[in-house]
């Protein structure tokens, strides 16, 4: 019975791997529900925030907030890269980081320098290997993203932008479409774009006319717009992290389900080989015994 | 089409109210704002208090509590970005019942309270007060 012990060991090892992937699948499934609820709950808020900032961008405001002023020449951009902290979630991070790499090359070709902010371990590692200039990072965010963890890193870029050292701020993240599908997205968040893409993928423009009107401000335009823009930025980044989190758990659940299914397939194949070799051994022994008896 | 304005009240946690209204009252930082359709664009902050929304038709007003936030008004749209908003129905039921009872008492006793408008104002005030109490208790507990 040559090799049967090896086959048995192999089966055992695959079985224990399946146990692990199965457990991870179930953990991800339970986390996924909460992450999706959180993400869905804050989507309407962000859509309204986007609408308002686009209205503000259309208005002929008495105080031009720096976020509203587009700069002629772009020399240096900031990029916020949102990835997961842990792996084993399919192609999720690879897909986002591919778009990062693409843009990085594109910017380099145009002579634009880039400052990166990494949110999530995977992105941080990638950017460091890529040789990107990482100015701030937020990692180990846990299952429930907290805004106060994100404010610091994002503020570093914004301060640079207001100081005039950065001319644009871009974001890279994964948006959640459904449990089976997550899409990498990229876009500019500062200066305020003229249109933005909703979670469902449609492009939305401001629904009002250009520049011949202004708001009545109570009490003060400067304070209000500063406050609103801060809220816009924090909200946008927070929503991206939420989307990424929901995508992560969904992608992990799907990846682990596939892994468990594959493990099951391998086990049954190995079982078949094992049974065949055992049967062959028995047949061989029998024929030897019969042959021996006949010889006597 | 009736003369209405679209009202959205959203917080980070959820969409609290979305619908048409004939009239909206909001607690602005510089005082109460009463908004009718086709209002001029306005941008302001709001302070903790009750938002009163009067839907079209003969239906009771909706109350939403906000703990501050931003308010944008366009001629056909009111958007409230609330820090945290609680639908009036979600408040401690006993307290709401108590407030309702008091307001209803005032409404039936019109002469003493000075008409329905006053009674409604009192209802709003009572609810806002309850909210304040609840917040206070939260902090103490």
**What is the structure's pLDDT at A204?**
74
SS3 B95: helix
**What is the structure's pLDDT at A9?**
93
Which has the higher per-residue pLDDT, A243 or A60? A243
| pLDDT of residue B85 exceeding 60 | no
Which stretches of chain B sit within 8 Å of chain A by CB?
8, 10-15, 18, 28-30, 40-45, 70, 72, 74, 79, 81
**Residue B114 DSSP one-character state:** T
Nearest residue, CB atoms, A224 vs list B11, B40, B43: B43
| pLDDT of residue B113 exceeding 50 | no
Stretch 26-55 of chain A: residues touching chain B, C-beta under 8 Å: 41-42, 44-45, 48-49, 51-52, 55
Contacting residues of B for A213, CB less than 8 Å apart: 41
Nearest to A246 by CA among A194, A293, A199, A291: A199
pLDDT > 70: what percent of chain B?
58
Residue of B nearest to A216 (CA): B42
pLDDT > 90: what percent of chain A?
54
SS3 A194: coil
Helices A221-295 and A92-109 cross at an angle (nearest 10°) of 130
Nearest residue, CB atoms, B74 vs list A55, A228, A238: A55
Alpha carbons A162 and A185: distance in angstroms, whole number: 25
Instruction: Please name every residue paired with A171 in a beta bridge, in sequence order, or none if there are none.
Output: A80, A187
pTM of the model: 0.79
pLDDT > 70: what percent of chain A?
97
Which has the higher per-residue pLDDT, B90 or B109? B109
Per-residue pLDDT reduced to its tens digit, A244-292: 999 999 999 999 999 999 999 999 999 999 999 999 999 999 999 999 9
**What is the structure's pLDDT at B91?**
55
Alpha carbons A47 and A204: distance in angstroms, whole number: 10
Min Cα distance A219 → chain B (Å) is 7
CB-CB contact of A138 with A156 (8 Å):
no
CB contact A219 to B (< 8 Å)? yes
Per-residue pLDDT reduced to its tens digit, A95-144: 999 999 999 999 999 999 999 999 999 999 999 999 889 999 899 888 88
Nearest residue, CB atoms, A219 vs list B29, B41, B79: B29
Which has the higher per-residue pLDDT, A250 or B141? A250
Dmax (CA) for chain B in angstroms is: 50
**Residue A209 DSSP one-character state:** -
Per-residue pLDDT reduced to its tens digit, A37-60: 989 888 888 888 988 888 888 888
| pLDDT of residue B136 exceeding 60 | no
Instruction: Determine whether the interchain pair A44/B30 forms a contact, defined as Cβ–Cβ distance below 8 Å.
Output: no
């Amino acid at each position: 019975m040559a090799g049967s012990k090896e086959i048995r060991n192999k089966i055992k090892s695959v079985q224990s791997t399946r146990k692990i992937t199965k457990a991870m699948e179930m953990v991800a499934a339970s986390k996924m529900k909460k992450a999706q609820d959180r993400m869905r709950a804050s989507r309407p808020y962000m859509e309204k925030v986007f609408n308002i900032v686009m209205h503000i961008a259309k208005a002929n405001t008495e105080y031009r907030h720096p976020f509203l002023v587009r700069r002629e020449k772009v020399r240096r951009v900031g990029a916020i890269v949102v990835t997961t902290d842990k792996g084993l979630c399919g192609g999720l991070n690879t897909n986002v980081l591919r778009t990062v790499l693409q843009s990085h090359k594109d910017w380099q070709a145009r002579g634009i320098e880039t400052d990166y902010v990494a949110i999530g371990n995977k992105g941080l590692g990638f950017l460091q290997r890529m040789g990107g200039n990482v100015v701030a990072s937020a990692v180990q965010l846990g299952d429930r993203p907290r805004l106060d963890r994100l404010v610091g890193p994002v503020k570093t870029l914004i301060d640079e932008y207001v100081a005039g050292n950065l001319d644009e701020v871009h974001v890279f993240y994964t948006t959640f479409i459904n449990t089976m599908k997550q899409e990498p997205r990229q876009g500019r968040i500062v200066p305020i774009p003229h249109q933005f893409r909703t979670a469902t993928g449609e492009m939305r423009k401001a629904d009002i006319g250009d520049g011949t009107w202004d708001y009545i401000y109570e009490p003060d335009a400067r304070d209000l717009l500063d406050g609103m823009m801060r809220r816009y930025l924090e909200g946008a980044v927070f929503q991206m992290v939420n989307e990424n989190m929901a995508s992560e758990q969904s992608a992990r659940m799907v990846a682990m389900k596939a892994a468990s299914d594959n493990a099951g397939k391998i086990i049954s194949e190995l079982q078949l080989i094992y049974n065949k070799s055992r049967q062959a051994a028995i047949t061989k022994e029998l024929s030897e015994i019969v042959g021996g008896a006949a010889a006597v | 089409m009736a003369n209405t304005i679209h009202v959205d009240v959203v917080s980070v946690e959820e969409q609290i109210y979305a619908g048409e209204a004939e009239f909206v009252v909001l607690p602005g930082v510089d005082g109460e704002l009463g908004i009718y359709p086709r209002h001029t664009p306005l941008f302001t902050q709001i302070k903790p208090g009750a938002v009163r929304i009067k839907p079209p038709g003969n239906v009771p007003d909706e109350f939403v509590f906000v703990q501050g936030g931003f308010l944008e008004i366009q001629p056909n749209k009111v958007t409230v970005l609330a820090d945290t908003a609680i639908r009036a129905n979600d408040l401690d039921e006993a307290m709401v019942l108590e407030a309702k009872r008091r307001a209803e008492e005032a409404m039936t006793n019109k002469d003493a309270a000075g008409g329905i408008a006053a009674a409604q104002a009192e209802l709003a005030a009572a609810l806002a007060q309850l909210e304040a109490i609840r917040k206070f208790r939260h902090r103490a507990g």
